[in-house]
Amino acid sequence: MTIRIGNAPCSWGIEFASGEGYPTWTEVLRQCAAAGYKGIELGPIGFMPEDPAILADRLAEHDLSLIGGVVFRPFHDATKWDEVVDASERTIAALKAHGAKHLVLIDSISPRRAPTAGRAAEAEQMDTAEWAAFRDRIAHVARMGTDAGLTVGMHAHAAGFIDFEPELERLLDEVPEEILKICFDTGHHSYAGYDPVAFMKRHIGRISYMHFKDIDPAVKARVVENRTGFYDACGQGIFCNLGKGDVDFPAVRQILLDAGFEGWCTVEQDCDPTMDNDTLGDARANREYLQSIGF
């Protein structure tokens, strides 16, 4: 099994192209390399330079490969389609310029779904026509990515319309596997109230890329009960260091091993950038934990 471990800008609190308390992109690269990683994701388009020469020089300086990039946009909102397409086109261009492989699609947080993150039974559902248009928008961007030679994975995310396991599985049933695979996030699956290991056992053949994230069960119970918003939950530490939460990472490793999985697995420990986070220390601790269990 050849698995490489990377990290992502969201571990430094980077959710958008710019924001309060954000470190610079050069500092994120420096800390990522200092913590022992050999690869990093692009982050939201616009955070890192879109001039390939500028970014390539800094990646090389830190001996980092670009793994992939995320389109975290409101696929659920038809009025924002131009925004989704623009972000997709720019992300695809950046990934191709650096030889990255993975395009990750995430339906971003919706006010209609935010109060029911972690509460599948209460979550509002789209009607038939709205779902079909939503699915087709995802499939369109997935085809854009595959036509560009990328591997495209759908990523379930708290408070979006692909959050809970049945929604992800419905999408996978309706969009061809040749254009859409799974970027599986262990933490978001737990946040949603499902068993990441059980899902992986059923769908390992379609998982093309992994996001490693752990969940503090006590914080999860509290934020679900209080209907806490996603970013506030990040600030409360719902995403803890790997090995400190409820995700069974040794079992995750065994499933990947048994399936002959090869490629990148990326650590994501979302945090609130306005708080006093030890991002370098957390990144090191996560890398050391994964090494301790054989990654």
Question: For residue range 186-195, what is the model confidence (pLDDT) as tens digits?
Answer: 999 999 999 9
pLDDT band with cut points at 50, 70 and 90 for residue 1: low
Q: What is the pLDDT of residue 69?
A: 98
Domain hosting residue 54, numbered range: 3-292
Q: What is the pLDDT of residue 262?
A: 95
pLDDT band with cut points at 50, 70 and 90 for residue 119: very high
Question: Which residues in 246-276 are b (16+ Cβ under 10 Å) and which e?
Answer: bbbbeebbebbeeeebeebbbbbbbbbbeee
Q: What CATH number corresponds to the domain at position 25?
A: 3.20.20.150
Q: Kindly report whether the global pTM for this prediction surpasses the value 0.85.
A: yes
Query: What is the percent of the chain where pLDDT is above 90?
Result: 98
Per-residue pLDDT tens over the stretch 225-271: 999 988 899 999 999 999 999 999 999 999 999 999 999 999 999 99
Interatomic CA distance for residues 180 and 266, integer angstroms: 19
Helices (H), the chain: 25-34, 52-61, 81-97, 128-147, 165-174, 186-191, 196-203, 217-226, 230-235, 249-259, 279-292
The answer to whether residue 32 scores a pLDDT higher than 60 is yes
The continuous run of DSSP H or E covering 211 comes out as strand 207-212
Closest CA to 178 of 205, 210, 146, 222: 146
Please give the tally of structural domains in the chain: 1
- Please give the average per-residue pLDDT across 209-218, as a whole number: 98
Q: What is the pLDDT of residue 133?
A: 98
